[in-house]
Chains A and B, each alone.
Chain A
Amino acid sequence: MEDGARERATDAAIVFENLARSFGEIEAVKDVTLTIPRGQICGYLGPNGAGKTTTVKMATGMLEPTAGRAIVEGFDIVQEPLEAKRVIGVVPETGALYTTLTPNEYLALVGRLYHIDRDETEAKAHTFLELFGIEDAADRLMTTFSRGMKQKVLISAALLPNPSVLFLDEPLSGLDANTALVLKELLRDLASQGRTIFYCSHILEVVEKVCDRVVILVRGEVIADGRVEELKDMTHQGSLEDVFSELTSSEDLAQIVRAFSRSVTGDGERSA
């Protein structure tokens, strides 16, 4: 590891240096530079196709950057992938699981991949599944699970290795209101213990409540970065939702809604 990265690792958990990724002619992520200190919950927002998931994939070693680098806890994800991956937990947007395993079997697999003691894995798995209210389904194949149940298993798997950095891509997807509430509190608690959380979401109310800092990405570029209050002041808006709309939408939302409504009901076609 280079000196610079090691030094940054002392206070920065995640560092993106001019991170970029292209797919052919499409530049999905352009020159993203961020430093996220340890213990911070950083909301990463953007419209569909802005490059959020691509950033997470690069930061977690699932996609190689075309330029720049991502450093997690001092480890360059491309140069030292195993070291970096040992300290991260990921809840992917895809929700991918081996559904023909049971939650207990899946968590046991995850535990062994991180060399966690078998008893410790079993105890943690039991606790997580109980807290999420799916302990009765712990030995059932996940083929029968709802999206929310699968999401609970994914979150449990991400937390199992006790990671110091968490990458969460739409973690509330499919979760019921109570579980979402538990997760939000859990994230705050983990952050207070020094864990760093990189939180991608479209649910702006949650981001506003949970995140210490918000980064907004549009067409692969960071267009805003700051605390929620700072962004509100900067844009003279009252809520993160309004801030987001102000910064990311170039069209009149009311006009879009009217056009949609006419299209759904067919009024536009009839009148035409």
Chain B
Amino acid sequence: MTTGADSTRKGRRATAVDWEQFRALLVASVRLDLRSTRMQRGRAAKFPPVAAAFATYLVMGTLLALAVMSTEDIFVFSLFTLSAAMFMTALLVIMEYSSVVVHPDDFDILGHRPISSKTYYWAKIANLGLYVAATAFALSIPAAIVAGVRYPPGAALTAVYLLVALAACQATSALVVLIYSVAIRVFNYEKFTRAITYVHTLSTLVIVFGYVLLPRVLAKDVMLISVERGAWVYAMAPAWFAGAVELAAGEAGRQTLVLAGAAVASAAALIWAAMNTISLDYSRRISALATASAKAVEEAGRRRSLGRLGLPLCRTDEERAGFELMRSYMTRDRKLRARIYPAFGLPLAVYIYGIITDGLHDPFVPQAVSGGFPAHQLLGFYSVFITLFFATAIAQTDQWEASWVFFAAPVRSRAGIVTGARKLIIWRYLLPFFVFLFILLAFAMPPAKAAMYVLLNLLLALTAFALLSMTSPHMPLSQSLEKAKQARQIGLIMLLGMSMAALTAILELMKQVPQAGLVVYPALVVLALGAELLLRRRLDRRLAGEEFPG
């Protein structure tokens, strides 16, 4: 007979953390992080994506620290560098949630073992904490060194800055975990994966507005590395942590003390809340999240059959096969969509902000250069941002083992299959996005100018899509998902996007020489077609010798 005391004891056991299991799970997770699942010549690749991602972050952190080190104000320096670190951390956890927090494989491997949900959850959170700490370190160590060299009291500030950056990034990741935990509780299994797709996109929007744009908005000048410190700093999480750095630098004003206090309190509260937001049946829910019911999938297939209208774009059977395969996956694989949709968040946030603040001007008129919105400077950046998400996502899935069929089937051209998949992306995502952008911009500038601007971006996007696809020349859905793979790619996007600023020269040329468009547009068409041709040749060469990765 079960007694009350028995029930209580069992309840305690079920909700307690088994520290031996915790250590074992954490060690295994760290090992998995540090190893690549990719195969190179029959052996596991030695250089894991985690290492590459950290190297990318280190470069980003260095560039950022150097870019803002001219400011005399340690608060402003910290605000910008910490904003960037927090933004990247949030993006990383959002984009890679399926590998850094929820891992569907875990359930199949661990679900039948005697592990309490709390032990499992804490091990995953601890693993995430280590991962975020390493990322925050790579992003922030250059800024910490600059802070120690540039601002008083010197070397001690390096250590304090680093600690504050780690706390800020941990608090950010804890916030994302909390959002997910709440979503798991609020939505049922079917709705959760669908909701998460939109949460991803919305979070990107919120993060962009909150952490990147707002300080610049308040400064009224995007290029000015200074901010007017008003009451808004209390609403800005990065400003709280910048206040903590400022306090360590010797500034002990009332506002600084309040900000530093808010930083400590928010970090402690968020980390505590994330650690204690335990769903006791968390691991069971994870398994349910990995699958959608057959009925829901069928409905999704019926709802979204418009993608087939693009099928005539495909010229060969291989292209049609790739197109249909990608169409099915994009329709039915919510995880794939959840990885891709956030790409639209950043550009939409920027353009919507431009319209709301009436700062979006005709980019073809010279006087618009001095306007408050950087559309003319950001030409190409978002095209690259979006297309790289697609270029990498086409190759990746957790069902990559099914790709053996490409290697077994006697197809005439493997490159044709990739081309078909890419045509689906262009037809179903890139073209509608740019049409939507045109409608959006038509509110802010004459439709003809909006069309010219969008066409320019579209041509650049198509060129970028072809060029970036060369960096991931694999069969569609043939590569396994790896932790940090996407984070590294986001880092690369940021770096590559910065270099795309050179493309503003095109706009400048068109402003100065009204007829330049007659040359620029055909040249860009040739560029896009040339990039496509180059890609096709590379794919032909590369894929002819590619072996099944399993």
Q: Could you list which residues of chain A lie within 8 angstroms of chain B, going by C-beta atoms?
A: 1-3, 23-26, 60-64, 80-83, 85-86, 88, 90, 92, 94, 96-101, 105, 108-110, 112-115, 141, 143-144, 167
Q: Which of A26, A63, A82 has the most CB of B within 10 A?
A: A82
Chain B residues near A96 (CB-CB < 8 A)? 105, 108-109
> Which residues of the other chain, A, contact B114 by a CB distance below 8 angstroms?
81-83, 85-86, 113-114
Q: Which residue of B lies closest to A111 (CB)?
A: B24
In the complex the two chains form, is A80's CB within 8 Å of B10's CB?
Answer: yes
Contacting pair A101 B28 (CB below 8 A): yes
* Distance in angstroms between the alpha carbons of A54 and B19 in the assembled complex: 31
Q: What are 9 A-B residue pairs whose CB atoms fall within 8 Å in the complex?
A: A2-B1, A62-B111, A63-B287, A85-B112, A90-B112, A96-B105, A105-B31, A113-B21, A143-B39
Which chain B residues have a beta carbon within 8 Å of chain A's beta carbons?
1-2, 10, 13-14, 20-21, 23-25, 27-28, 31-32, 35-37, 39, 42-44, 105, 107-116, 284, 287, 293-295
Centre residue among B111, B284, B293 by max chain A CB count within 10 A:
B111
Q: Is the CB of B109 within 8 A of A112?
A: no
Q: Which residue of A lies closest to B105 (CB)?
A: A96
CB distance from B42 to the nearest CB of A (A): 7
Report whether B42 and A98 are in contact in the complex, using a CB–CB cutoff of 8 Å: no
Whether the Cβ atoms of B113 and A3 lie closer than 8 Å is no
Q: A25-B295, A82-B116 are in contact. Are A100 and B31 (CB under 8 A)?
A: yes
- Assembled-state Cα–Cα distance A85/B294 (Å): 29
Contact of A100 among B24, B37, B113 (CB under 8 A): B37
B296–chain A nearest beta-carbon distance, Å: 8
Contact B21 A112 (CB under 8 A): yes
Inter-chain CA distance A6–B31, complex, in Å, is: 41
CB distance from B285 to the nearest CB of A (A): 11
Q: Which of A63, A64, A97, A98 has most B Cβ within 10 Å?
A: A98
Query: Which A residues touch B2, using CB under 8 A?
Result: 1-2
- The reply to whether B112 and A112 form a contact with Cβ atoms under 8 Å apart is no
Residue contact A92 to B28, C-beta cutoff 8 Å: no
Q: Are B287 and A144 in contact (CB under 8 A)?
A: no
13 new A-B contacts at CB < 8 Å, known A62-B107, A98-B105: A1-B2, A2-B1, A23-B293, A60-B111, A81-B14, A85-B115, A86-B114, A92-B108, A100-B32, A105-B28, A109-B24, A113-B25, A115-B20
B113 in contact with A85 (CB, 8 Å): yes
Complex CA gap A143/B36 in Å reads 9
Knowing A2-B2, A24-B295, A25-B295 touch, does A98 contact B112 (C-beta < 8 A)? Answer: no
Most buried by B among A61, A143, A144: A143
Given A1-B2, A96-B105, A100-B35, A141 and B20 contact (CB-CB distance below 8 Å) = no
5 interchain residue pairs of minimum CB distance: A96-B108, A112-B24, A85-B114, A100-B35, A60-B112
A88 to B112, CA, bound (A): 8
**Chain B residue with Cβ nearest A90:** B112
Give the nearest-CB partner of B116 in chain A: A82
Cα–Cα, bound, A64→B295 (Å): 20
- The interface centre, meaning the residue of A81, A86, A101, A108 with most chain B CB atoms within 10 A of its CB, is A81
Query: Is B295 a contact of A92 with CB atoms below 8 Å?
Result: no
User: Knowing A80-B10, A110-B113 touch, does A144 contact B28 (C-beta < 8 A)?
Assistant: no
A69 to chain B, nearest CB (A): 14
Taking a contact as CB atoms under 8 Å apart, the answer to whether B39 and A98 are in contact is no
Give complex CA distance A90, B295 in Å: 30
Contact of A144 among B39, B108, B109, B110 (CB under 8 A): B39
Are A61's CB and B112's CB within 8 A?
yes
Neighbouring A residues of B110 by C-beta, 8 Å:
113
With a cutoff of 8 Å between Cβ atoms, the chain A residues found around residue B10 in the complex are: 80, 83
| Chain A residues, CB < 8 A from B294 | 23-24, 26
Question: What is the minimal beta-carbon distance from A168 to any residue of chain B, in angstroms?
Answer: 12
| Docked complex Cα distance between A141 and B43 (Å) | 9
Complex: A141 Cα to B42 Cα, angstroms: 11
Q: Which residues of B contact A25 (CB under 8 A)?
A: 295
Q: Are A113 and B24 within 8 A (Cβ)?
A: yes
Evaluate whether A141 and B35 lie within 8 angstroms (CB atoms) in the complex, with A98-B28, A110-B113, A112-B21 already known. yes
A83-B295 Cα distance, complex, nearest whole Å: 35
Closest partner residue, chain A, to B13 (CB atom): A82
Instruction: Point out the residues of chain A lying under 8 angstroms from B116, CB to CB.
Output: 82
Closest chain A CB from B22 CB (angstroms): 10
A144 / chain B contacts, CB cutoff of 8 Å: 39, 42-44
Known: A85-B112, A92-B112, A112-B24. A101 touches B31 (CB 8 A): yes
Cα distance, A86 to B111, chains bound together (Å): 12
Contacts of A85 in B (CB 8 A): 112-115
Residues of B within 8 A of A98 (CB): 28, 32, 105, 109
The complex places the Cα of A112 from the Cα of B113 at a distance, in Å, of 11
* Cβ 8 A contact of A101, one of B13, B32, B107, B115: B32
Measured CA separation A62–B13 after assembly (Å): 19
Whole-angstrom CA separation of A173 from B109 in the bound complex: 17
Question: In the complex, are the beta carbons of A143 and B44 less than 8 A apart?
Answer: yes
